[in-house]
């Protein structure tokens, strides 16, 4: 399975801040950003690079530049991870994908999508809560149909159901996450999880 859990002490530290139900939105947002830095480092380990000569103040030496990278934030919770990606890769192209569950069919329904040209890009999909996997699987399909070649999903918390679904639908996609939790409850929340990521980020509880 193409699945990496980050067990760095800082990842665990910030995950704990996110899990704590007493963490207020402003602290929650900074912790989400800090945790995402640790995921981005792992997720970008195999990015294609160009090599070119660079003049240091002392002499010419080898320089490197990462090629075309794009990030797609799955609305709305993926926005909580975007600033970290922009900090680390300022040249990143950014897309947004909004999906909601149809109340009658329970199938994912697109309500917004704006993607940059992904034909040459390595794509990071920002989907913090991998619960049933429906939204992420849909977002990956959307990104693939725009021509993306190397796709990595960045998640804060994952559930077994979501990881299984992704692996079945898109076995080529690498998942990088901070946690693999026990299960989903009857309302499709991840347990123990951290609650509703969007509500906690934006104070809409």
Q: Which residues are catalytic, by number?
A: 101, 105, 196, 199
Region 9-68 residues binding ligand URA, contact defined as CB under 6 A? none
> 121: helix, coil or strand?
coil
Cβ proximity to ligand URA, 77 vs 139, nearer residue: 77
190 binds ligand URA (CB under 6 A): yes
Quick check: 131 and 184 in contact, CB under 8 A? yes
- Report if residue 129 touches ligand URA, rule: CB under 6 A: yes
Among the listed ranges 16-24, 31-39, 84-92, 190-198, the one in contact with ligand URA (CB under 6 A) is: 190-198
Question: Quick one: 35 or 129, whose CB is closer to ligand URA?
Answer: 129
Interaction of residue 193 with ligand URA, rule CB under 6 A: yes
Binding mask 170-189 for ligand URA (x = CB under 6 A): -------------------x
Is 125 a binding residue for ligand URA by CB under 6 A? The answer is no
- Identify whether the C-beta of residue 199 lies closer than 8 Å to the C-beta of residue 65: no
Cα 154 to Cα 51: distance, rounded to the nearest angstrom: 27
* Least gap, CB of 38 to ligand URA (angstroms): 20
Q: Could you tell me the CA-to-CA distances from 150 to 31, 47, 118 in Å, in that order?
A: 27, 9, 10
Q: Radius of gyration of the chain from Cα atoms? A: 17
CA–CA distance, 180 with 4 (Å, rounded to integer): 10
* Cα–Cα distance for residue pair 77/84, rounded to 1 Å: 14
Closer CB to ligand URA, residue 98 or residue 198? 198
* Residue in 130, 124, 113, 166 with CA at minimum distance from that of residue 36: 124
> Which range touches ligand URA (CB under 6 A), out of 54-62, 65-73, 117-125, 193-201?
193-201
Q: Which of 18, 92, 97, 131 binds ligand URA (CB under 6 A)?
A: 131
CB atoms within 10 A of CB 105: 8
Q: Rounded CA gap, 129 and 137, in Å?
A: 13
Residue among 77, 79, 156, 176 that touches ligand URA (CB under 6 A): 77
**Residue ranges binding ligand URA (CB under 6 A):** 77, 129, 131, 189-190, 193, 196-198
């Amino acid at each position: 399975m193409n699945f990496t859990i980050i067990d760095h002490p800082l990842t665990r530290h910030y995950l704990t801040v996110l899990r704590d139900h007493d963490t207020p939105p402003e602290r929650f947002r900074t912790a989400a950003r800090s945790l995402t830095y640790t995921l981005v480092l792992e997720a970008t380990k195999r990015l294609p690079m160009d090599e070119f000569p660079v003049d240091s103040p002392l002499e010419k030496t080898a320089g490197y530049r990462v090629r075309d990278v794009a990030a797609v934030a799955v609305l709305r919770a993926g926005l909580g991870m975007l600033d970290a990606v922009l900090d680390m890769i300022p040249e990143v192209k950014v897309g947004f994908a909004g999906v909601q569950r149809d109340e009658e069919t329970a199938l994912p329904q697109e309500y917004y999508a704006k993607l940059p040209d992904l034909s040459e890009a390595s794509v990071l999909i920002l989907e913090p809560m991998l619960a049933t996997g429906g939204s992420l699987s849909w977002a990956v399909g959307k990104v693939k149909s725009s021509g993306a070649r190397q796709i990595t999903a960045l998640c804060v918390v994952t559930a077994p159901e979501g990881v299984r679904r992704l692996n079945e639908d898109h076995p080529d996609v690498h998942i990088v996450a901070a946690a693999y939790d026990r299960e989903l409850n009857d309302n499709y929340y991840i347990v123990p999880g951290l609650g509703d990521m969007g509500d906690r980020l934006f104070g809409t509880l």
